[in-house]
């Protein structure tokens, strides 16, 4: 495999996680949370599922749409964590999905050579590769937190795999979307 092939696969896999797998899991988890608990915080220093979804939408816009793609950075990060309500489930998910679609458009236009380009994002010097890697791992961590909150609120309501026959067949993928696991 050449470096170009590897870089192309990295971009494709990042797009899959950010545009397909993680948003699908977050959507299922958030929809399982009763509306009255969407903005519930386990303690004063913790975040609600609502805060985490706002935060992910802001993060992916700042790092990918703005930082990599060059759009203006209009993020209000503190507001993501300060919110205690204001958006219902579907509006919150629509915001996340719009951010993810915009990010996927940016990522679809990347070439392997773009991964080495320097960027300054959130006051940090980085590269497109490092920024994308950061966003994928960041999104993954918060996806897990949202899932945990959903499972705390509604045990047994969130299930992502069919384990029949010892195989973990994804249940979270939209119709017609294949799992591209390596």
Residue 68 maps to which CATH number?
1.20.120.450
pLDDT at 182 over 50: no
pLDDT of residue 165: 84
Q: Which two tokens stand for residue 7?
A: 């870089």
pLDDT at 163 over 90: no
**Which residues lie below 8 Å from residue 24, measured CB to CB, with a gap of 6+?**
172, 173, 174
Residue 182 covered by a domain: no
pLDDT of residue 175: 67
Q: How many domains does the chain have?
A: 1
Residue 119 covered by a domain: yes
Q: Supply the range of the domain harboring residue 28.
A: 3-170
* Percentage of the residues of the chain whose pLDDT score is greater than 70: 95
pLDDT at 75 over 50: yes
Residue 176 covered by a domain: no
Residue 65 covered by a domain: yes
Residue 73 covered by a domain: yes
pLDDT tens track for 86-101: 899 999 999 999 999 9
Residue 178 covered by a domain: no
User: pLDDT higher for 4 or 83?
Assistant: 83
pLDDT of residue 106: 98
User: pLDDT higher for 60 or 86?
Assistant: 60
Residue 19 covered by a domain: yes
pLDDT tens track for 62-72: 999 999 999 99
Residue 109 covered by a domain: yes
CA dist 127 → 95, 133, 161 (Å): 26, 10, 35
| pTM recorded for the entire structure | 0.91
């Amino acid at each position: 495999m050449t470096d170009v092939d590897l870089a192309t696969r990295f971009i494709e896999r990042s797009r899959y996680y950010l545009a397909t797998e993680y948003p699908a899991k977050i959507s299922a988890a958030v929809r399982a949370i009763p509306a009255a608990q969407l903005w519930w915080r386990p303690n004063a220093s913790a975040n609600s599922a609502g805060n985490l979804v706002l935060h992910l939408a802001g993060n992916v816009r700042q790092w990918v749409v703005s930082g990599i793609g060059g759009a203006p950075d209009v993020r209000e990060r503190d507001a993501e964590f300060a919110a205690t309500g204001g958006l219902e489930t579907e509006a919150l998910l629509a915001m996340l999905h719009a951010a993810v679609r915009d990010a996927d458009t940016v990522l679809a236009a990347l070439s392997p050579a773009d991964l080495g380009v320097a960027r300054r994002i959130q006051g940090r010097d980085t590269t497109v590769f490092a920024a994308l890697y950061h966003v994928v791992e960041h999104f993954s961590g918060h996806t897990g937190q949202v899932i945990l909150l959903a499972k705390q609120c509604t045990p047994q309501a969130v299930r992502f795999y069919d384990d029949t026959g010892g195989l973990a067949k994804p249940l979270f993928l939209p119709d017609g979307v294949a799992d591209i696991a390596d």
